[in-house]
Amino acid sequence: MFKYKILALLFIAVSTQGLTNDLSIAQCKALASKNKFLHDTYNASKALNTRGLREYKKGHLKKARNYFYCAQLLSPNYALAHYNYASTLALLDQKTVSDPCYNHTLENMEKHLVRSIQLDPGRRKRLKNDSDFDNIRDSYFYKYVTFDIKLEKISDLFYKVGTWHAQTIGVFPVAKLIFENESNVLLKTYKFDALSQTSVWSKGIPAIYSIDGNTLSIEFKNNKLDSLSGEIRFIIKKNVLLDIEISTDKFGIFKGYQDDCNA
């Protein structure tokens, strides 16, 4: 009898709180039991995911999100549940791109997308064609995780990202590399005009670049500057590309984004 009283209290907690992302495993099990799903953990997760899909198709995104959340919580290796949970987060928070700094929803969505691809590399292809993630398609995170480092050329990603910023401590950037195609790159530097008391980007110095393994070599077309080289460092976790750094002696580390959040 005592056991059933506890279960009843869990039912009340689930129904009255409206379900949040902070549900415990016990609450998720109670939700599965309440909906008469199987007690086997994996089958319960599949049933929760199916229920989530039904709510998703009806446009009940908050309900769908919670079913997907419980599905991945009960079965952490269930790739589809991680992916579906991330998709509802992307749809429920349309500000993930406009406000990337300190955005818990964005961080949570990214974590579960990465996990889904790590568990099922086929999710990467699905992600490329999924309209649920249209609002993050221009983000660097999206460009990195959808890149298959085993099959695609790094030069394609450099061009796809476009502008790479030198990371600095302080307010002003030092330089940026603009990859125009698979062979041409433009180096721009940030200059301060003492007379006008203004800071502007230089027009840019055209160059040709090549990639050999983990080394980026840049040769300037005007021949007035020494060539520039950098070591490419790939931040990869279980076959998912999370970040790239280009380390140079002259300008320090370049990344595909400027870290404005820490400025």
Instruction: Read off φ and ψ for residue 202, nearest 5 degrees.
Output: -70, 165
Count other C-beta atoms under 10 Å from residue 227's C-beta. Answer: 12
Given a cut of 70, whether residue 9 has pLDDT beyond it is: no
Output the CATH code of domain 154-262: 2.40.128
Where exactly are the structural domains of the chain?
A: 2-145, 154-262
| Residue 240 φ/ψ, nearest 5 degrees | -115, 125
CATH for the 2-145 domain, from 1.10.10, 1.10.3470, 1.25.40, 1.10.490: 1.25.40
Write out pLDDT tens, residues 143-201.
999 999 889 999 999 999 999 999 765 555 689 999 999 999 999 998 776 677 777 88
184-193/205-212 β-pairing:
antiparallel
Helix axes 25-34, 41-57, angle to 10 degrees: 70
Q: What is the pLDDT of residues 38-63, one digit of tens each?
A: 667 888 899 999 999 999 999 999 99
Distant-in-sequence, close-in-space partners of 235: CB < 8 Å, separation ≥ 6: 241, 242, 243, 244, 245
Can you give the pTM of this predicted structure? 0.80
Task: Provide the pLDDT confidence category of residue 16 given band limits of 50, 70 and 90.
Answer: very low
pLDDT: which is higher, 155 or 2: 155
Residue entry with tokens 């959340």: 69
**Residue 229: strand pairing partners:** 217
- pLDDT tens for each residue of 209-262: 999 999 999 999 877 667 899 999 999 999 999 999 999 988 889 998 755 554
Per-residue pLDDT tens digits for 89-114: 999 876 544 455 667 888 899 999 99
Of 164, 82, 68, 83, the closest CA to residue 128 belongs to 83
